[in-house]
């Protein structure tokens, strides 16, 4: 499965458009990480725990995106976009969407 945020693939032709596919994942941090983050709010700097958490979350969203694309029979997803929103204190949603296509 080819996942790309470009709109076209040089040298390959889009045979069929299959519409929008999406994947999302909502994760919250556990209390330990929240306490560490509270400390970091005093000293500043990178919150490694959160970075990792969001990365895991993003990987999961990408997997769901890919599963959906496979279900509709696509062999590539083009023009992929990410979006993050905090829906509540301590929880973030990662949303990935793109166009499922069949390339020749």
Partner 1 sequence: MFDLIIFLVLLSLGYGVGQYAERRHYRSIIEREGRLNALPAIASRYPPIEPHYGQSLVIGSTVVSVDYFKRFLAALRNLFGGRVTSYESLLDRARRESLLRMKQQAADLGAAMVFNVKYETASISKGRGNTIGSIEVLAYGTALIEQRRK
Task: Determine the Cα–Cα distance for residues 16 and 100; give it in Å rounded to an integer.
Answer: 9
The nearer residue to partner 1, 18 or 79, going by C-beta atoms, is 79
Read off φ and ψ for residue 46, nearest 5 degrees: -75, 140
Contacts with partner 1: how many residues (CB under 8 A)? 35
49 in Cβ contact with 33 (< 8 Å):
yes
What is the spatial distance between Cα 55 and Cα 59, in angstroms, rounded to a whole number?
A: 6
Binding of partner 1 at residue 82 (CB under 8 A)?
yes
75 binds partner 1 (CB under 8 A): no
**Residues 11-50, interacting with partner 1 (CB under 8 A):** 11, 37, 40-47, 50
Give contact residues for partner 1 (rule: CB under 8 A): 2-11, 37, 40-47, 50-51, 54-55, 58, 80-86, 88-90, 92
């Amino acid at each position: 499965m080819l996942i790309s945020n470009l709109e076209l693939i040089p040298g390959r032709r889009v045979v069929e458009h299959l519409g929008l596919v999406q994947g999302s994942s909502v994760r919250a941090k556990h209390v330990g990480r929240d306490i560490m983050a509270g400390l970091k709010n005093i000293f500043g700097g990178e919150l490694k725990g959160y970075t990792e958490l969001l990365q895991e979350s993003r990987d999961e969203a990408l997997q769901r995106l890919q599963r959906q694309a496979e279900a509709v029979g696509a062999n590539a997803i083009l023009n992929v976009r990410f979006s993050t929103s905090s829906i509540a204190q301590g929880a973030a949603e990662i949303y990935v969407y793109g166009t499922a296509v069949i390339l020749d």
